[in-house]
Chain A
């Protein structure tokens, strides 16, 4: 779909440079003339949103790093120093901490959109898998970053999550504890842990940026999927990326940034946990250790399973299973617009993720009281976990076989332009 390059250098220097390094040609072909389906809607703007958020996180992060001290004695104080004494330090920190949340808002919309329109299906499997890898790296980066302020939730969150690995002691004696000690650089979360987490938190965003480069590359080979999920048949189905999608994306990015700005300036601590304004104390455990909201569905799954090793496997499995859905989905049709059954199960899946997230935020022994019958949230989470995996298997392969899709339009152009004529 990349097609023939239409780049014509305008200057003699341009011609000279183009024959040595076709950098401008690459930019021209991928960002200006790239043929893009003409029917991409609002939900397709989140790729641009994510690029902007990654940029904001890296820039604010680099400046914050100039003022941050990665040590058990210095970390909390240095963050408070940033909030009080560094010029616009409060702005940088609130942009960075809320930026992480907005980054995840955008990535979840982006992922659900890919799921709804079948963007993971052939020929975009590698594109999708790279996306899952970015998501995994994002979760690791966010977790490492949450440790850095060295508040109570930082410390105990790091303790809980690194202790997952001790579950592997059940596979081979000493294996899990060995991995955990290796991660900690000691016998528990300590100064050494904070230092290496800081180092890795600085490293991973640049790896993410690299994988994002591959992700975009893998997008430019088959080209964008679209809400109809049918292939582009010719030039009448597409528009050049610039100015059509540059301007559409710019508008939606600005709209998204309004939400972000609202959070940063008017409710900067809304998504944070008050306990993280208490300096880390290794001898006082908070009543409820709650991870950041974007990890809550997985946390709920982990807690709903009484056996630690199985819980940890389920936790990692819940993310890894995403990499296999290009082959789990047996349907010939991509978009849920033409898949009446899949559409229902998709929205159930969205609700399921929200319910799991809600369960993860409550205390372990919380319960719903429905007319005198008490239902433990742990059971709600168990059913939620079952549906989460059930959606991918057996539902996904099964639906492709039993479902009768609605008839597909002949082409994007006929579907989009016909009503206007």
Chain B
């Protein structure tokens, strides 16, 4: 009891201290991500299939112009816990992409005009990147490198809420005295607040086939959901198995407790 009290007091001191800390490294630190909720939150959370499919549409029609998705394969699209496309749908999506082809019979990888030979994608292929390499990507983006989006949600503090906030966090009043640099845009959720990415999304930028109204907020929420899945494609399997393991462990622990009490009953 006294131990618990001691620990409690020390944690209280730590928490009190935490709330008064100010980091002074950057004069304009990012503000915390917007508070929002996702269907994948919580121990029983699962991805909203509709949101995943809409998010995929936003990626395909908007983000993929600059951002690669190198770690995701087309066969992932029809796997359990994913956007729920059928296999024929996933095949059709794959076939709509041009994948760099292996050398042809003459040993060439370029056609007569010097363009890269391509072939239609299959389920085994991964999403092709928009640029041939990082240098080409920088050359097209004022020197900035658009990051690969596959595990971006896990690679940023704040996760999906951070992606959602960056995406929908443009067009805000610039504080007096703050300088927006050349070829940069003001986004208070970004570290340093000068971001190289222009505002990526406008209202009705995509037309959702399920009739959902494509507001900036909706589109950004959908892309954040989609990128949560690309970052953690086994989340539903993990939480499902977690429930079973937890149930087993609770039962086992309960029985071990009763056994322990029974055995010790006569010892004291």
Contact = CB atoms under 8 A, between A and B. Distances in A.
Interface string B126-159: 0000000000000000000000001100111101
B256 interface: yes
A91 B241 contact: yes
B179 interface: no
A354 B15 CA distance: 11
Contacts of A83: 234
Q: For the complex, would chain B's binding face be called helix, strand, loop or mixed by DSSP majority?
A: helix
B256 A250 contact: yes
B69 to A, nearest CB: 13
B154 A80 contact: no
A363 B14 contact: no
Interface in A194-251: 239, 243-244, 247-248, 250-251
B242 A264 contact: yes
A74 to B, nearest CB: 14
B81 to A, nearest CB: 11
B252 A265 contact: no
Interface stretch (A98-106, A164-172, A266-274): A266-274
B217 to A, nearest CB: 24
B268 to A, nearest CB: 6
Given A91-B241, A266-B239, A363-B25, A243 B263 contact: yes
A251 to B, nearest CB: 4
Given A84-B233, A258-B250, A362 B245 contact: no
Task: Report the interface size class on chain A.
Answer: 35 or more
A409 to B, nearest CB: 15
Nearest to A247: B260
A401 interface: no
A258 B246 contact: yes
A258 B267 CA distance: 27
B191 interface: yes
Interface string B221-242: 0000000000101100111011
B252 A254 contact: yes
Contacts of A262: 246
A366 B233 contact: no
Contact of A358 (B14, B22, B150, B159): B14
Nearest to B154: A277
A247 B249 contact: no
Given A261-B249, A265-B246, A367-B22, A251 B267 contact: no
B36 interface: no
Contacts of B7: 350
B22 A274 contact: no
A195 B246 CA distance: 37
Contact of A275 (B11, B155, B241): B155
Contact of A258 (B151, B155, B233, B253): B253
Interface in A88-129: 90-91, 94
B259 A247 contact: yes
Contacts of B14: 354-355, 358
Contact of B257 (A38, A239, A251, A269): A251
B257 A370 contact: no
A377 B10 CA distance: 17
B182 interface: no
B223 to A, nearest CB: 18
B24 A366 contact: yes
A250 B13 CA distance: 34
8 contacts: A254-B249, A255-B253, A261-B245, A287-B191, A347-B6, A351-B13, A365-B24, A367-B24
